[in-house]
Amino acid sequence: MTATSVQAKLSPGLRARRASSNVLTYLLLALCSLFVFVPFAFMLSTSLKTEEQLFVWPIQWIPDPTAWENYSQAFVELGSIAPGLTFWRILSNTLFITILAMTAELIAVSLVAYGFARFRFPGRDKLFLVLLSTMMLPSIITLIPTFLIWRTLKLIDTYDPLTIGSWFGGGAWAVFMLRQFFLSIPKEMEEAAVIDGADTFQIYYKIMLPLVKPALLALGVLIFQANWNNFMGPLIYLNTTVKFPMVVALKFFQESLSHEAPKWHYMMAMSTVMAAPILALYFMAQKYFIEGLTVGAVKG
Amino acid sequence: MEVSAWETYLPTLLHWLATGGGIIALMLLLNKVLQMLGVKRETATGYALILPWILGLLIWNLYPFARSLYLSFTEYNIFQPPKWVGFQHYVTMFTKDTDFWPALRLTLLYAALNVPLGLAGALGVALLLNRDVKGIGIWRTVYYLPAVLPVVAVALLWRWMLSPTSGLINFVLRPIYQLLNVAPLQWFTEPGLVLPSFVIMGMWGIFGANAVILLAGLKNIPRHLYEVAELDGANGWQQFWNVTIPMLSSTMFYNLITGIIAALQIFTQAFFIPIPRRAGTFFNVLIYREAFQFRHMGYASALAWINLVVILAITLLVFRSSAAWVYYEGETK
């Protein structure tokens, strides 16, 4: 049964109903996107207001005068209580953590997933089940002992706890996702390479990795996002203000300068700055964001 | 005194390179040793490849898991060695700690409201985005935006949106307040409104991952099922109940489980938005405070275990119920 044969059977009345339901679809789409966009617009417009304009009604969506200086002033104020914590310092702190953690996790995850997908060894399926069950373990359980490990190593207030753990196979979810991709590659590709005399590393590096490149990109984007947005880690492990990444710097601003009378214009400017790179990444690599999310979830 | 960026990065960079190099060296070593011991090549390489995860499981999962259980039976302030106190912490939280029950109640209620509403909303959005109309791709891009935003930014934004004196929501509602002659709602500040405020904020996220996953699930439903249903005279509503919902149930089940686990662990938003103490505290914020502000590592560990038990119990319940409502294609029972 093909779609066209059904279409042919539709009465004219039914077609008219389809058209009117399309109008309804557009209406609903527009209504929902209002719900998405208005808070965004509110964030942007607040970030460009002077302190007096914050409380003006009706709301000035495009503030006049436009306070572009909020974007620099917010960081100047922050620097006044946290010496050395400039915008560039915050950015480089954030990038340093994110890139190290992401690189390590991608390398480790791709190796582990390859092992689970392509090699037969005793206990493999049981171990994989253990891996899946660790996804259910709430991170709060391991948080305190993990903190104590880093404390014993005298590495509190360094970037080590935020980056080095990523070498250990990363998130179970990431392994699971990449394994699905490895499984979908036909086995003949490797067998041919083995006949040609390639060793395991060559097969992995020259054949498997290029084939799962889209999945690696998808994973990379999601891991980047997770680390960029990670709050609890830097909150617990970093004490010196100058070491703060974006997220914790924002929290510090809220608690110190913005505690009694919230400086919403500055906080929204900082939020925008924090969100901008992720939004840019999203628009560039949108396909990968979506792809990464759906693997494994559908088909359960 | 200022520390240059490089001074703070260099030690970590070196440790990071050493750890990575060390793990890869260990993998190569294991591969060699196992083969020398006469293990089949495929087996040896397999074990070597998953070594990073095995190490991670032992160091970052199993050991902390056991240590956390042990600590929950001790008094431990980091500076003195842990002192065994038996079940004292568990007794204290159930009988004496005035923050415990409100925290549990608030967190459970949040999950109970947020998860079903979020799932229903996400399903609605997914159905909408699955419509065959022009330019649907652009809408999909737009709808996912809130999920890309850092949670911290979302929390701040909604704290501002719902600000009682000058937030957008209360500005918009002002005519209604005047019409009904009531005082503006004190979002996030009045104990009774804390929960609704958090749920509203959570609803902004329905356009995110859940909707994307459900949409992919919708796309996976074979078209011919709808065609057959239509030929049998099923109307739109009947098709939805008898084709869409059963075919989507395994995807919804996945979303339900991950949603429950996430909601019961809400932290960042809860940490960023001050709420009155009378309204309770979210459970993970309570644990954070006990552990890292008061240095009650033992008591905080006990709280974390209660959190785990609650999550496991609820997840198990949902799993049990799933046989009744989740349909797996190709399942022969």
Q: Is the peptide bond before A58 cis (omega within 30 degrees of 0)?
A: yes
Radius of gyration of chain B (CA): 26
Helix (H, G, I), strand (E, B) or coil at A137: coil
Of the listed ranges A24-33, A95-104, A141-150, B55-64, the one predicted with least confidence: A24-33
For testing contact with chain B, the best of A14, A21, A27, A29 (most B CBs within 10 A): A29
Closest by CA to A228, choosing from A110, A91, A82, A79, is A91
Q: Locate A205 and state its tokens.
A: 């590096």
Minimal Cα–Cα distance from A5 to chain B, Å? 10
In angstroms, the CA B158 to CA B198 distance is: 9
B209: closest CA of chain A, how far (Å): 7
Burial B236-255 (b: 16+ CB within 10 A, else e): eeebeeebbeebbbbbbbbb
State the smallest CA–CA distance between residue A277 and chain B in angstroms. 10
Check CB contact of A89 with chain B, cutoff 8 Å.
yes
CA distance B261 to A136: 8
Higher-confidence position of A153 and A55: A153
* Distance in angstroms (rounded) separating the CA atoms of residues B119 and B116: 5
Q: Is B34 on the interface with A (CB under 8 A)?
A: no
What does the pLDDT profile of chain B (333 residues) look like in tens digits? Answer: 466 888 899 999 999 999 999 999 999 999 999 999 999 988 999 999 999 999 999 999 999 999 999 999 999 998 899 999 999 999 999 999 989 999 999 999 999 999 999 999 999 988 888 887 777 878 888 888 888 888 889 999 999 899 888 788 888 888 888 889 888 888 888 888 899 999 999 888 777 778 888 888 888 888 888 888 888 888 888 888 888 888 888 888 888 988 998 899 999 999 888 888 888 899 999 999 999 999 999 999 999 999 999 999 999 999 888 878 787 765 443
The SS3 call for residue A239 is: coil
Q: Which of B78, B220, B265 sits opposite A138 (nearest CB)?
A: B265
* Substitution target from A14, A135, A140, A157 for chain B, most B beta carbons within 10 A: A140
Q: Which residues pair with A251 in a beta bridge?
A: none
DSSP B282: -
pLDDT tens string A149-194: 999 999 999 999 999 999 997 678 889 888 888 888 888 877 888 7
Return the biggest CA–CA distance within chain A. 76
Do A75 and A88 contact (CB within 8 A), yes or no? no
Q: Which of B83, B204, B58 is nearest to B143 (CA)?
A: B204
pLDDT band at A66 (very low <50, low <70, confident <90, very high): confident
| pLDDT attached to residue A189 | 78
Token pair, residue B224, equals 């011919």
- ipTM metric: 0.90
User: What confidence tier does A5 reach under pLDDT thresholds 50, 70, 90?
Assistant: very low
Domain map (residue ranges) of chain B: 5-71, 94-325
- Measure A76 CA to nearest chain B CA, in Å: 16
Q: Which residue of A has its CA nearest to B77?
A: A148
Q: Which residue of A has its CA nearest to B130?
A: A25
Which H or E run contains A14? helix A12-47
DSSP secondary structure letter of residue B79:
S
Asked if B56 and A169 come within 8 Å (Cβ–Cβ), the reply is: yes
Q: Are the beta carbons of A244 and A161 closer than 8 angstroms?
A: no
| Residue at token pair 């005399």 | A197
Q: b/e per residue, A1-36, with b = 16+ CB within 10 A? A: eeeeebeeeeeeeeeeeeeeeeeebeeebeebbeeb
Note the Cα B85 to chain centre separation in Å.
32
B265 to A139: CB separation less than 8 angstroms, yes or no: yes
**Alpha-carbon span B74 to B200, nearest angstrom:** 40
B146 Cβ under 8 Å from any chain A Cβ: yes
As a whole number of angstroms, the distance between CA B98 and CA B218 comes to 46
pLDDT at A9 over 70: no
Give the residue ranges of DSSP H helices in chain B. Answer: 5-36, 41-56, 63-71, 88-95, 100-129, 136-143, 145-148, 151-161, 168-180, 191-203, 209-220, 223-231, 236-239, 245-264, 268-272, 283-288, 297-325
Q: Check whether A11 has a pLDDT greater than 80.
A: no
B11 touches chain A (CB under 8 A): yes
Give percent of chain A above pLDDT 90. 34
CATH architecture of B94-325: Orthogonal Bundle (1.10)
**Which residue ranges form the domains of chain A, and what is each CATH number?**
3-69 (no CATH), 72-294 (1.10.3720.10)
Task: Tell whether A148 is within 8 A of chain B (Cβ).
Answer: yes
Contact criterion met (CB below 8 Å) for B171 and A57: yes
A80 or A157, greater pLDDT = A157
Output the pLDDT for position A4: 44
Enumerate the residues of chain B whose CB falls inside 8 A of the CB of residue A86. Answer: none
Instruction: Give the pTM.
Output: 0.88
Distance CA B48, CA B28 (A): 7
Using the predicted structure, report yes or no on whether residue A300 has a pLDDT greater than 50. no
- Residue at token pair 């020259």: A206
Mutate: best of B2, B10, B12, partner A, most A CBs <10 A? B12
Residues B52, A139: C-beta atoms closer than 8 Å: no
